[in-house]
Amino acid sequence: MFDNNMGGESMREKILEMLSCNSRISHDQIAVMLNMNPQDVTREIKAMEEEKIILKYSTLINWEKTKSHTVTALIDVKVTPQRGVGFDEVAERIFRYPEVRSVALMSGSYDLSVKIEGKTMKEVALFVAEKLATVEHVQSTMTHFVLKQYKQAGVVFDDKEEDRRQVITP
C-alpha cells in the first residue's frame, strides 16, 4: 500500500509530462531535470515527433480574455450502426470539417462527442443542422453550448489560489 513507486514512469513519459506542462522548455533543461544526456533527450523527442506521439507544440489560451470571442459547443451524436460502416468512417466524415475541433467515440447513451467552434451561436447551430445532422448514418444530435470554461488541460483559468505561506519559515 505504501510502495515506493520508484521509476514507475518511463523516461519518455517523463519527458512528455514536462513538455505538456511547458512546450517551450529547452532540451537542456529537461536533461538537467531528469538527469539525462541532452543528446538523448533531443533524440527521444525527435523520435516521438516522428512516431507522431508528439503532434504539435501549442499554447493554452483563455480566449474569454481576448476580444475575439468564439462560441464552443459539445454535441452528442448518435449513429445508426450499419453493416460495413463502422464508427471510424462516420467519425472521419465529421472530423474533416474544419469547424470541428475534436471528435471522440464514447461509451454510454450516445456514440460520438463532437466539439465545434464558431463565431456565433447561430453559426454553430447552422453547422449542426445543415452539416452534422445530415452526415450519412447520423441518427440524432444534441447540442450543448459551453457557457464558461473553468478548467482546461489541468489548468484552472481564474485561479484564486495564491501562495499563502509566510515569507521565511524554519
Partner 1 sequence: MSKFNAADYVVPKLKSLPPSGIRKFFDLVANTKGVISLGVGEPDFVTPWHIREACVHSLEKGYTMYTSNWGMPELRKGVADYLSEKYHVSYSPENQVIITVGASEAVDLALRAVVDQDDEVIIPDPCYVSYKPCAAMAGGTVVSIPTKAENDFKLTAQQLENAITAKSKVLVLCYPNNPTGAIMTKEELLQIAAVVEKHNLLVISDEIYSELTYSGQHTSFASLPGMLDRTILINGFSKSFAMTGWRVGYATGHPEIIGAMVKIHQYTILCTPVTAQMAALEALNNGMEQVYHMRDQYNQRRRLLVNRLNDMGLDCFEPKGAFYAFPSIKRTGLNSEEFCQHLLNEELVAVVPGEAFGESGKGHIRISYASSINQIEEALNRIERFVNKRYKSEVNLSAQA
Residues that bind partner 1 (CB under 8 A): 1-5, 8, 18, 22, 29, 32-35, 161, 163, 165-170
The residue among 34 and 135 lying less far from partner 1, judged by its C-beta, is 34
The residue among 7 and 108 lying less far from partner 1, judged by its C-beta, is 7
Separation CA 3–CA 80 (nearest Å) = 47
- Tell me which residue of 64, 114, 63 sits closest to 87, measured CA to CA: 114
Question: Sheet harboring 112-118: ordered strands across?
Answer: 100-105, 112-118, 71-79, 138-145
Considering the complex, what minimum distance in angstroms separates the CB of residue 153 from partner 1? Answer: 17
Cβ pair 73, 128 in contact under 8 A: yes
The residue among 83 and 160 lying less far from partner 1, judged by its C-beta, is 160
Considering the complex, what minimum distance in angstroms separates the CB of residue 162 from partner 1? Answer: 10
Tell the residue number behind the cell numbers 485561479, with chain if given. Answer: 159
CA distances from 106 to 14, 46, 76, 170 (A): 28, 32, 9, 51
The residue among 3 and 130 lying less far from partner 1, judged by its C-beta, is 3
Cβ pair 106, 91 in contact under 8 A: no
The residue among 57 and 145 lying less far from partner 1, judged by its C-beta, is 57
Considering the complex, what minimum distance in angstroms separates the CB of residue 2 from partner 1? Answer: 5
Considering the complex, what minimum distance in angstroms separates the CB of residue 35 from partner 1? Answer: 6
Considering the complex, what minimum distance in angstroms separates the CB of residue 91 from partner 1? Answer: 34
Sign of the CA dihedral 34, 59, 49, 106? positive
Residues in the chain: 170
